């Protein structure tokens, strides 16, 4: 997997916006997000057939824009609808088991909050790690204490060139510091999903991320 695919990694669930989630996703894709994760959990989250239908619509949109479509946590759904990958955390189905169930070409990401988790994910063969929360976030109810840019830097020092995406409370102005601390990209929910202009916001994230990488 090319690390540049992580440049602007947008995550969305239906409860992360007051707008039509499919419109928000399409705008974000038009703005230039490079990777997408469907993360349907928490209050009012869709389940069963409704969740599946939403996932299928989101996958269709992502593919129209040539953006890989990943699913958070729900490996069964990802396999059923033919996603392009999955993301799992430390409390989810173990990575090694997930890897053995999924096609070789899939992108499989793992969360890491500290150096030990990051090193283990690298040894296990994760395609990338989602490192955070970097800053405070209201989006994830069970989020750990923020690790800051120093925490990210320490993890980068331990994992060599393993692709890293930073996550948690990220706003546009954070990109430069995060790239400097070793992130290949940023993973965002609120800054795009609750923006009045998701397309413009996604475009700015892409522009900044791209500028920094050149």
- Give backbone dihedrals phi and psi of 120, rounded to 5 degrees, phi first: -60, -45
* Residue 156 bears catalytic tag: no
Shortest distance (Å) from residue 98 CB to ligand TZP: 17
Asked if 74 is part of the footprint of Mg ion (rule: CB under 5 A), the reply reads no
User: Which of 187, 199, 203, 205 forms a contact with ligand LCLJCK34 (CB under 6 A)?
Assistant: 187
Q: Taking CB under 6 A as the rule, does residue 51 contact ligand LCLJCK34?
A: no
CB 141, CB 189: distance < 8 Å: no
155 touches ligand LCLJCK34 (CB under 6 A): no
Active site residue 39: yes
Residue 85 phi, psi (nearest 5): 165, 180
Could you say which of 57, 120, 140, 207 is catalytic? 140
Partner from ligand LCLJCK34, ligand TZP, Mg ion, none contacting 86, C-beta within 5 to 8 A by type: none
Nearest to 184 by CA among 131, 139, 141, 133: 131
Nearest approach, Cβ of 92 to Mg ion (angstroms)? 4
| Residue 71 main-chain phi, psi, to 5 deg | -120, 140
Size of interface with ligand LCLJCK34, in residues (CB under 6 A):
17
Tell me, yes or no, if 140 is annotated catalytic. yes
User: E strands along 27-98, which residues?
Assistant: 35-38, 69-72, 85-88
Q: With binding defined as CB under 5 A, does residue 73 bind Mg ion? A: yes
Alpha carbon distance 213, 182 (integer Å) = 11
3-state SS assignment for residue 87: strand
Q: Which residues pair with 8 in a beta bridge?
A: 186
**Coil, strand or helix: which one is 206?**
helix
Nearest C-alpha neighbor of 155 from the set 188, 137, 130: 130
Site string for ligand LCLJCK34, 167-186 (x = CB under 6 A): x-------------------
Task: Please tell me the distance from the alpha carbon of residue 158 to that of residue 170, in angstroms, as a whole number.
Answer: 23
Q: Could you list the residues that contact ligand TZP (CB under 6 A)?
A: 132-133, 137, 139-140, 143, 167-170, 188-190
Q: Binding site: which residues?
A: 37-41, 72-73, 92, 111, 137-140, 169, 189-190
Binding residues for ligand LCLJCK34, rule: CB under 6 A, are 9, 11, 37, 39, 41, 72-73, 87, 89, 92, 109, 111, 130, 140, 165, 167, 187
Q: Which residue numbers are catalytic?
A: 39, 111, 140
């Amino acid at each position: 997997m090319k690390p540049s695919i992580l440049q602007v990694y947008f995550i969305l669930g239906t409860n992360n916006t007051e707008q039509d989630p499919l419109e928000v996703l399409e705008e974000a894709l038009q703005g230039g997000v490079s990777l997408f994760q469907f993360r349907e959990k928490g209050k009012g989250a869709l389940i069963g057939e409704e969740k599946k239908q939403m996932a299928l619509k989101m996958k269709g949109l992502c593919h129209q824009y040539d953006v890989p479509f990943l699913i958070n946590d729900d490996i069964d759904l990802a396999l059923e609808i033919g996603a392009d990958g999955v993301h799992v955390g430390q409390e989810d189905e173990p990575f090694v088991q997930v890897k053995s169930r999924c096609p070789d070409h899939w992108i499989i990401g793992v969360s890491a909050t500290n150096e030990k988790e990051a090193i283990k994910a690298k040894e296990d063969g994760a395609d990338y790690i989602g490192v955070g929360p970097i800053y405070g976030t209201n989006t994830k109810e069970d989020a750990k204490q923020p690790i800051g840019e120093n925490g990210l830097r320490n993890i980068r020092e331990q994992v060599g060139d393993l692709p890293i995406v930073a996550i948690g409370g990220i706003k546009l102005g954070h990109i430069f510091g995060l790239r400097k601390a070793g992130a290949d990209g940023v993973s965002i929910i609120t800054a795009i999903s609750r923006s009045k202009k998701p397309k413009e916001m996604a475009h700015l994230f892409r522009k900044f991320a791209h500028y920094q990488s050149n």
